[in-house]
Amino acid sequence: MRSGKVSDGDVEEGELLDESTNEEDLGICVYLLVGLAYLLVAFTFPFSLCVCIKMVQEYERAVIFRMGRLLPGGAKGPGIFFILPCIDNYVKVDLRTISFDVPPQEILTKDSVTVAVDAVVYYRVFNPTVSITNVENYQRSTRLLAATTLRNVLGTKTLQDLLAERENISAQMQSSLDEATDPWGVKVERVEIKDVRLPMQLQRAMAAEAEAAREARAKVIAAEGEQNASRALKEAADVISQSPAALQLRYLQTLNMISAEKNSTIIFPLPIDLISSLVKSD
């Protein structure tokens, strides 16, 4: 007498048989609907060509679904392709490079400075089938990911790095975005940081710091000039002291320079010998 107990192996075998039966039934239904669609096209020929024949441009591809399933063979196009009415639908995918602006992001840098940064991203679809089947909306997903990546990358940089190393930051963002969007069939070609807006108080502080640095450099340059001039005057005085006639010539040259200008200056020249005798008598 056979026992009524059912083993686990029997249960698993029954489930597999049910699944295979369902797959066979689903396949028969699909074949039946496809055959009816072909009959409909044949009965309504040539009017059915207006519905069945589609066209995509050189820069577009068509991803075709039949009864909700992706057709083998990849995306169709460019040019003309054929679909069956009622059971086929298709999605066009643009392969051209697309650009979009990342909205300004309020970012706290590594040195605790709040800045507003915006960027522009260039990307294109390199696999139309994957971009439709692996992600709901590849355009919206790429935009959101770009904004998040911008915040994450700039949050690890100081304000000085952000202002001085834009090219390196753009390359790092492009690499991160390209790696993240590769499973979506999207290739990020370029990322550029457009503008970095600082708070007004920080702008005033940086302007005051730059002005103070310029004034300090100007004072240093003026001091070095005075030092060089004093050395030149000392050397000139040493040369003049060696020849008394040179001092007289310099005195006459100064009088000539003053008299050459059109002014009302009155000059009373005094002999150098008289002044020197008075100095010696004292």
Tell me the pLDDT tens digit for each residue of 127-150.
999 999 999 899 999 999 999 999
Beta 60-66 vs 53-56: how paired, if at all?
A: unpaired
Query: What distance, in Å, lies between the first and last C-alpha atoms of the chain?
Result: 154
Instruction: Determine the pLDDT at residue 270.
Output: 63
pTM value? 0.63
Q: What is the mean pLDDT of residues 176-194?
A: 92
Q: What is the mean pLDDT of residues 98-111?
A: 87
Helix segments in 7-112, DSSP class H: 8-43, 49-52
Q: What percent of the chain has pLDDT over 90?
A: 22
| Residue whose token pair is 């029954």 | 14
Instruction: Determine the pLDDT at residue 114.
Output: 85
Tell me the pLDDT tens digit for each residue of 10-67.
434 343 334 333 344 456 777 787 788 778 877 888 877 888 888 889 999 999 998 8
Instruction: Determine the pLDDT at residue 257.
Output: 73
Radius of gyration of the chain (CA): 44
Chain mean pLDDT for the chain:
79
Tell me the pLDDT tens digit for each residue of 216-254.
888 889 888 888 888 888 887 777 777 777 767 777 777
Instruction: Determine the pLDDT at residue 229.
Output: 85
Tell me the pLDDT tens digit for each residue of 259-270.
666 666 666 666
Residues making up the chain, counted from first to last: 282
> Please, are residues 121 and 176 in contact by the beta-carbon 8 Å criterion?
no
Calculate ∠ Cα 70-73-76, nearest 5°: 85
In this structure, what token pair is assigned to residue 178? Answer: 């390209």
